[in-house]
Amino acid sequence: MQTQRILSALLALVFLFLLNPDSGKALGENLTRLTPHLGDKRILHHGKNKTSGPAIQIDEQGALHLAWTQDGHDQLNIYYLQSQLTEDGFPKPIQVNPSIQFATSLHEPPALALGPHREVYVLWPAPHPHADGKPFASILNLSRSLDGGRTFLPPTRVNDDEVVTGHSFDHLATAPNGTIHIAWIDAREGKKDPATYTARSLDRGSTITKNLKIDDSTCVCCRTSVATSPDGTVYVTWRKIFPGNVRETVVARSKNGGQSFDPAVIVGHDQWVFAGCPHRPASLGADGQGRLYVSWYTEGPDDTPGVYLATSDDQGLTFTARTMLNTSKGTFPDHPQMAVDDQGRILVIWEEQSPVRREIVMRYSLDRGKTFIAPQKLNIKKAQHPAVAINNQGQAIFAWQEQIAFPNWSTVLQPVSFEEHPAHTATARTP
Amino acid sequence: MNQLLLIGLFWLAVTDSFAADPFTTLMLSPRDNKAHVPAIDLPTLSGEIIDSKDWAGHVVMLNFWATWCGPCKEEMPSMERLYRRLQTKPFKLFAVTADIRRQDIAAFWQHWDLHFPVLLDEDGDFAQKLWVRTLPTTIVIGPDGRIHGRAMGPRDWDSPEAIAFIEQLMEPL
């Protein structure tokens, strides 16, 4: 009788263990059923033209939107194309910028966002019209397409000052109500360290609201990032300089649709002391339950590079302890980008570098960041500049630059499907 | 007598600070100290090919920067002064950039009135081989072809401490 009781208790424990979504085995089973299917890679060749990394989005109908900056020798132009996820070939790209206004640099792609009524928005810094050879002088332009990406209207200027200085390291996101939220780093006050600014457009990019400074002492080269959550909260992240040249990733939130922002909150308390240009933006996402996700690069007090994730369940007031996502030894991780869908499925993609290798790896979580699969390499040849986007229909896309035909760089796109399917071994394939 | 004593004390303090550990005074990272620098040949802005084999016997300073890097410009004037000051010595100074638009680099150089050569590391391979992660990063290579210091972030490169450090590296010659 005693033995029977013990056996019953053990069986019950085993049963509970199998049912518990937190247990490794149950989670493993779930992952097998929902393992994302990596689709065939699609390659966009740019020939000898030098380009920025890709900016991508995927809409709720499953179309991918791709934008990049390309060196046209005389000037830098911004291009855009739209394609179905698994379509053969690519349509001819559209030039976004007018010929008389061009982009400033290739070191980062234009910012790309989609509106709720098939609007396409592209944000890009252009050389300041009165720069007269002065470096670091730019204006910020918003280009918009109101016909589903077929044509782009002349750009709307975002910064509302005339100071011949930098207005760049920009990002944008659209709220569910269609409001466009823009953030950037702005040097208009002429201080040693610039400030973080925001602005909105309430009319699909026709006009821009008065610019709003939300903080000072912004680290000069780390791009801002903006996200909105389904409840309308607006989040902006950037790297802030604290006394002693400590660089911390911070998040500020707006509960009134971007009219004002609460004071910035430190995310990881990294204590990274550095007086230069990290040039590595953080990435933001929010799921349908309002959880905020932040992924970022830092080195910390011991100068060891790491890619981290932290989350907030109180709308950015406090954050969980950071979790390191990179696991490899002998390489250093770089440039993380993240996408999150309504269900809290998280895709993070980043570079892994050593003196002789430059790889693109990704990890994903299907349980709102509780667990992640092991990092999976996506590229074959030398690769850089990763990007990722996800919609709420179980579709996602990874993108990066890869030296497919040395010495030229191509843009590689790899669709991902979260639709349920039989167990599948996800393998990177070249066409 | 008191004056002489003060001068003596001052001189001791100054020479002591110059001879101080450069890893402290210049905040140099010792992480890859004495590591060999990989061989490279890169074009300059004017099209000349620079081969690292020609660096033997020289102190070489590599300054990794970019046109869009605000903090990089902070140290450029002091680098230019250092370049002019040590022009007749076994010393080479190169700015290394992954920027690809030569006209932008040339405009930057003209704006800041800089004259030391720029190496074009278009795919960033040289920076990658040297584990350069942030800008500006300056790597000082000794006459033995080994790294003798790495500075991450801007420095005052014509400060007495920096000049003493570089001249100290030249001493065995």
Count up the domains in chain B and report the number: 1
- Asked if A275 lies within 8 A of B71 by C-beta distance, the reply is yes
* Tally of helices (H runs) and strands (E runs) in chain A: 2, 30
- Asked if A332 lies within 8 A of B131 by C-beta distance, the reply is yes
The DSSP string of A12-45 is HHHHHHHH-TTSHHHHHHHHHHHPPEE---EEEE
Q: Which of A229, A109, A212, A113 is nearest to A172 (CA)?
A: A113
Instruction: Give the pLDDT score at A86.
Output: 81
Q: What share of chain A is helix, strand, coil (3-state, %, to 5)?
A: 5, 45, 50
What is the ipTM metric for this complex?
0.82
Residues A397-409 have a mean pLDDT of 95
State how far the Cα of A247 lies from the Cα of A290, in Å rounded to an integer: 27
Q: Which residues of A touch B126 (CB under 8 A)?
A: none
Residue-range definition of the domain harbouring residue B33: 21-170
Q: Is B3 a domain residue?
A: no
Q: Is the dihedral of CA B148, B154, B160, B163 positive or negative?
A: positive
Residue A425 has pLDDT above 50, yes or no: no
Partners of A408 in beta bridges: A405
Kind of pairing between the strands at A111-114 and A120-127? antiparallel
At A217, which CATH number? 2.120.10.10
Residues 6+ positions from A24 with CB-CB distance below 8 Å: none
Residue of B nearest to A278 (CA): B134
A293 and A285 in contact (C-beta within 8 Å)? yes
Q: Each residue of A213-231: pLDDT tens digit?
A: 999 999 999 999 999 999 9
- Asked if B128 lies within 8 A of A353 by C-beta distance, the reply is yes
- Asked if A107 lies within 8 A of B104 by C-beta distance, the reply is no
Q: Could you give the percent of chain A with pLDDT greater than 90?
A: 81
Q: Is A403 a domain residue?
A: no
Instruction: Give the pLDDT score at A74.
Output: 83
State how far the Cα of A411 lies from the Cα of A43, in Å rounded to an integer: 6
Between the alpha carbon of residue A87 and those of residues A43, A54, A67, A121, B136, the distances in Å are 12, 18, 17, 23, 43
Instruction: Give the pLDDT score at B172.
Output: 59
At B89, which CATH number? 3.40.30.10
State how far the Cα of A291 lies from the Cα of A220, in Å rounded to an integer: 28
Q: Is A40 a domain residue?
A: no
Residue-range definition of the domain harbouring residue A129: 69-385
Instruction: Provide the 10 A C-beta neighbour count for residue B34.
Output: 10
Q: Is A60 a domain residue?
A: no
Residue A391 vs residue A132, higher pLDDT: A391
- Name the pLDDT band for A85 (thresholds 50, 70, 90): confident
Q: Tokens in use for A148?
A: 């589903």
Where chain B has pLDDT below 70, the residues are 1-20, 31, 172-173
Instruction: Give the pLDDT score at B2.
Output: 55
- pTM comes to 0.88
Instruction: Give the pLDDT score at A20.
Output: 38
User: Tell me, what amino acid is at A272?
Assistant: W
Q: Which of A368, A363, A419, A355 is nearest to A386 (CA)?
A: A363
Compute the mean pLDDT over every residue in chain A, rounded to the nearest whole number.
Answer: 90
Q: Is B108 a domain residue?
A: yes
Q: Is B134 a domain residue?
A: yes
Q: Tokens in use for B167?
A: 């001249």
- Asked if B153 lies within 8 A of A275 by C-beta distance, the reply is yes
| Min Cα–Cα distance to chain B from A355, Å | 4
Residue of B nearest to A134 (CA): B111
Q: Is B139 a domain residue?
A: yes
Between the alpha carbon of residue B154 and those of residues A98, B23, B113, the distances in Å are 37, 15, 18
Q: Each residue of A286-341: pLDDT tens digit?
A: 999 999 999 999 998 888 999 999 999 999 999 999 999 999 888 999 999 999 99
Report the phi/psi class of residue A46: left, alpha or beta, with left for phi > 0 and alpha for psi in -120 to 50.
Answer: alpha
- Name the pLDDT band for A73 (thresholds 50, 70, 90): confident
Q: Is A395 a domain residue?
A: no
Residues A76-95 have a mean pLDDT of 94
Q: Is A24 a domain residue?
A: no
Least confident of A13-17, A201-205, A407-411: A13-17
Residue of B nearest to A169 (CA): B68
Instruction: Give the pLDDT score at A234.
Output: 98
CB nearest B154 (choices: A107, A276, A358): A276
Whether B137 contacts chain A with CB within 8 A:
yes
Instruction: Give the pLDDT score at B142.
Output: 94
Count up the domains in chain A and report the number: 1
| Min Cα–Cα distance to chain A from B10, Å | 30
Q: Is A283 a domain residue?
A: yes
Residues 6+ positions from A365 with CB-CB distance below 8 Å: A344, A345, A346, A371, A372, A373
| Min Cα–Cα distance to chain A from B158, Å | 18
Q: Each residue of B37-63: pLDDT tens digit?
A: 999 999 999 999 999 999 999 999 999
Largest separation between any pair of C-alpha atoms in chain A: 93
Residues A351-375 have a mean pLDDT of 95
Q: Could you give the percent of chain A with pLDDT greater than 70?
A: 89
The DSSP string of A182-249 is EEEEE-TT--SS-EEEEEEESSTTSS-PPPEEEES-B-TTSPPEEEE-TT--EEEEEEEEETTTEEEE
State how far the Cα of A178 lies from the Cα of A164, in Å rounded to an integer: 31
Task: Classify A8 as helix, strand or coil.
Answer: helix
Residues A34-48 have a mean pLDDT of 89
∠ CA A175-A338-A276, rounded to 5°: 100
CB nearest B69 (choices: A50, A134, A277): A277
- A interface with B, Cβ–Cβ below 8 Å: 50, 71, 76, 104-107, 133-136, 166, 168, 194, 220-221, 245, 274-279, 299, 303, 305, 332, 334, 353, 355-356, 358, 403, 407
Q: Tokens in use for A245?
A: 């040249």
Q: Is B13 a domain residue?
A: no
Tell me the count of A-B CB pairs closer than 8 A. Answer: 87
Kind of pairing between the strands at B59-65 and B91-97? parallel
User: Tell me, what amino acid is at A101?
Assistant: Q
Residues A262-284 have a mean pLDDT of 95
Q: Is A255 a domain residue?
A: yes
- Which H or E run includes B83? helix B70-85
- Asked if B135 lies within 8 A of A355 by C-beta distance, the reply is no
Residue A271 has pLDDT above 90, yes or no: yes
Q: Each residue of B70-88: pLDDT tens digit?
A: 899 999 999 999 999 999 9
State how far the Cα of A131 lies from the Cα of A166, in Å rounded to an integer: 10
